[in-house]
Structure formats: structure tokens, C-alpha cells
Amino acid sequence: MHKPQQNMEDDWEGLELQQPRGGSQMMLYAGMGVAGLFGLVVCVVAVYFIWTQFRQRGGEDEAAPIVVPSTDEEETAVSPTETAVIAPTSTLPAAAAPSSGNVEAVRLASTPTIDGSLGEWDGVMATSSSSRVYTVAGWDGSEDLTAVWQLAWDNANLYLAVTVTDDTHVQTASG
């Protein structure tokens, strides 16, 4: 009642074409020859570049002689002249108000002491900055937060003194 199960491979037997295997060895030798030739070309190019680098470093050419043209005219010595002394730039008085948008730094006679006290800054014009630069939505605290700053300089440095007025002091960083 049961038929033996047929092998499906038997149905395809004889229908597949058999590929000749004679040329595979020749292709292997041809591929090896091309690879060997490519490797040889790479080696020759590498040797050429290395050779040119050593040749440029090793053989220093003699420098060409410098020819100085001769002049038939005699040079005469000229006596040195005195140079004019230029007066230093004058400093504007500290009480003068600068034009709108400009701030001028005042020259200090001596270096200020960096100690947090601004007593030495008397006579240096102060500029107020009460405009809001950074705001958070809904904040209008320009009345309780202002900065008054002063600029001065000496021969070595530019100095900036700032006095900040704020009703709430918050400092989350140091340094």
C-alpha cells in the first residue's frame, strides 16, 4: 500500500549540464602572474620614491657664489641728525563725559591695588550699564540689577573695575 518514497534528486539527474574543468588551472596561473606583476610594479615605485628622498638629502649641491655688483661712486659718510622728541599723548580729564556709546580709559599714575576696594578709582569716570542683556521670560529686574564700571590703564595693563548692585546675590560658581 505504501509506495517507497522517491528521491527528488533522481528526477533531476541527467538534466544538469556538467561544466568542463580543464581551464581552471590555467586561470589560476594567469591570476598569479597578474598579482606578481602588480606586486613588482608596486615595489619598483616604492624603491624609486625612497631613492629620490635619499638622493635629495645626501648630495648637497654647492651654493652658487654671490656676486656683489660694484659701484663706481664713492659713498660719503653723513653726520647723524637729531631725531625730534615726540610728546606723549595727552589724557583727557576724567570728569569729561564721553560721547554716546563711547567709553574712554583713563591713564593711571600708579598701578592700582587689586584688593576689591575701589578707593583708588576716584576721579575715573563711571559708566552705568542698567540695560537688560540676558532675560528670562517674564523677568523685568532692571531696577534691582545694575553694573557701574570704570576703565583705566597704565604702561603694562588695562584695568576694569565693576560695582554690581543686586537685591539677591546668587553665585553658583567660583574662580
Residue 112 domain flag: yes
3-state helix, strand, coil in the chain (%, to 5): 25, 15, 60
Residue 38 domain flag: yes
Closest by alpha carbon to 125, among 100, 152, 157, 147?
152
Residue 140 domain flag: yes
**CA–CA distance, 94 with 144 (Å, rounded to integer):** 27
Q: How many domains does the chain have?
A: 2
β-strands 127-129, 145-153: how paired? antiparallel
As a residue count, the chain comes to: 175
Q: What angle do CA 4, 7, 11 make, to 5 degrees?
A: 120
Residue 36 domain flag: yes
Helix or strand or coil: residue 152? strand
In the prediction, which pLDDT does 64 show? Answer: 66
Residue 85 domain flag: no
8 Å CB contact between 107 and 88: no
Residue 47 domain flag: yes
8 Å CB contact between 148 and 163: yes
Domain membership of residue 39 as a residue range: 25-58
Helix or strand or coil: residue 155? coil
In the prediction, which pLDDT does 35 show? Answer: 96
Residue 17 domain flag: no
Cell triple for residue 110? 600708579
In the prediction, which pLDDT does 36 show? Answer: 96
Collect the ranges in the chain with pLDDT lower than 50. Answer: 92, 94-96, 98-99
Residue 37 domain flag: yes
* Residue at 8: amino acid letter: M
